[in-house]
Amino acid sequence: MASKSGLYEGEHNKYRTPLVSRYASSEMTYNFSDMKKFCTWRTLWLWLAKAEQKLGLEISDEQLSEMEANKANIDFDRAAMEEKRVRHDVMAHVHTFAACCPKAAPIIHLGATSAFVGDNTDLIVLRDGFDILLPKLARCIRRLSNFAEKEKSQPCLSYTHMQPAQLSTVGKRACIWIQDLLMDLRNLERARKDLRFRGVKGTTGTQASFLALFDGDEEKVEHLDRLVTEMADFKQYYLICGQTYSRKVDVDSLCPLASLGSTVHKICTDIRLLASVKELEEPFEKEQIGSSAMAYKRNPMRSERCCALARHLMCLIQDPLMTASTQWMERTLDDSANRRICLAEAFLAADSILGTLQNISEGLVVYPKVIERRVKQELPFMATENIIMAMVKAGGNRQECHEQIRQLSQEAGAVVKQEGGDNDLVDRIRRSDYFAPVHTKLDSLLDPSTFIGRAPNQVIQFLKAEVEPELQKYASQLETVSKLEL
């Protein structure tokens, strides 16, 4: 058999998740990077040592300075070699950190367990991930709000059961999208606010090792927990944990992301459906190709991307649910490999989706003439009740009028469905002597703006009362434009 040496070498011969190589932002990919992770581990060891020194343990300023100077001085090759030797990622990095901090080596990781760096880092990364997502979600809401305000009075067909229903407006439909995104914004804010620090808890959460370090002084152990929590910029820590923080925290973090996925999938599906009838179109680059064979095509590829990634995001909630349900006693290690994947991928997918949705929202194109033509096709049927009422006011009999218009509607419907023609119900009414009393009123009775109810004012009221207050806290972050790499 021929040698395959070299076949697996080089970056292009290795799989890279598309979430990193194609979709997610650099800030989110860094948030889940090895550099962020292991620098945070070293920072946690430094914070622990500083707190322990403050509470009386023999740790010198020189040792702390050495740790501070080497937080980002990570020899990844050495760490990989150490992990291969000891089969333990945390101890591999303890040895690697100690190698560049010989004076501090004796006190690195003092009293701690692996979960001290592993879980606390995960909580920091989750918090920072929410801090990246929230302004992006706010920007999507802002862009769609601008769109809704602009299109608040544009009459359009609304649909129930995907069948034409009474009229609404383009802006009102956008507000339905925004309302769901506002729910997502509040859910993400709540999840971020609910995050606590694991803190300094020891091997199985009892703080026994730290109690031994401080000669049984419980007050110092509690003070140590508070000090490190404050250094990590968390307001609270979990009072109770096993070896790890409860894996329900991961569930509560990914649930709002999965829910966001369902919202974006719905919005982008609506856009795709409207694009198929040419009422609405997402941005389309000057040299963008819709199809290699059909040169005329303008596919809604951004919305399709959002739907594809949202589908993945919605599925990921199953991972933390299963993990939380199978954590035996104080902890089992079958959570580790799963969490390395699902936590990162959920935030990367959400980040990718929001960047794309913002780009879509910044360039939505409405085609009023197409919308008007489609309204005119359906409006005569919707206006029959108004016409009947006008006839009754002119002295007509309601039941006779209903029968007359029913017959004309059936004839017009046959033209549309069987002959493929335009809806000619209005012309039939104009030619009917029976409807002569309302012939001069037909134009006003068929004015689309009289069929949209309070939609324009609903848009104004909603944007002012519900959207603006929620966006105020993100005011300084709303102007960034989405630079989408297609």
Q: Within 13 A of 63's CA, how many CA atoms are on the CB side?
A: 22
The two counts, helices (H) then strands (E), for the chain are: 21, 4
Q: How far apart are CA 186 and CA 324, in angstroms?
A: 24
For 232, the 3-state DSSP assignment is: coil
Contact 445, 438 (CB under 8 A): yes
Sequence-ordered list of residues with C-beta below 8 angstroms from that of 35, at least 6 positions apart, any chain: 72, 74
Q: How far apart are CA 483 and CA 486, in angstroms?
A: 9
- Residue 237 backbone class (left: φ over 0; alpha: ψ -120 to 50; beta: rest): beta
Q: Which CB contacts under 8 angstroms, 24+ apart, belong to 6-12?
A: none
Alpha helices, DSSP H, located in 151-247: 170-194, 208-213, 218-231
Q: Which one of 5, 12, 161, 292 is the catalytic residue?
A: 161
Q: Which one of 21, 60, 276, 291 is the catalytic residue?
A: 291
Q: How far apart are CA 482 and CA 280, in angstroms?
A: 20
Contact 463, 145 (CB under 8 A): yes
For 123, the 3-state DSSP assignment is: helix
Q: How far apart are CA 435 and CA 429, in angstroms?
A: 6
Sequence-ordered list of residues with C-beta below 8 angstroms from that of 150, at least 6 positions apart, any chain: 171
Q: How far apart are CA 366 and CA 150, in angstroms?
A: 11
- Residue 25 appears among annotated catalytic residues: no
Element (H, E) at 336: helix 336-361
Residue 330 CA, chain-centre distance (Å), reads 32
Q: How far apart are CA 342 and CA 127, in angstroms?
A: 16
- Residue 291 appears among annotated catalytic residues: yes
Element (H, E) at 95: helix 89-100
DSSP category for residue 293: S
Residue 410 CA, chain-centre distance (Å), reads 47
Q: At what angle do helices 34-54 and 114-150 cross, to 10 degrees?
A: 120
Q: Which two tokens stand for residue 176?
A: 């339905």
Task: Cite the active site residues.
Answer: 161, 291
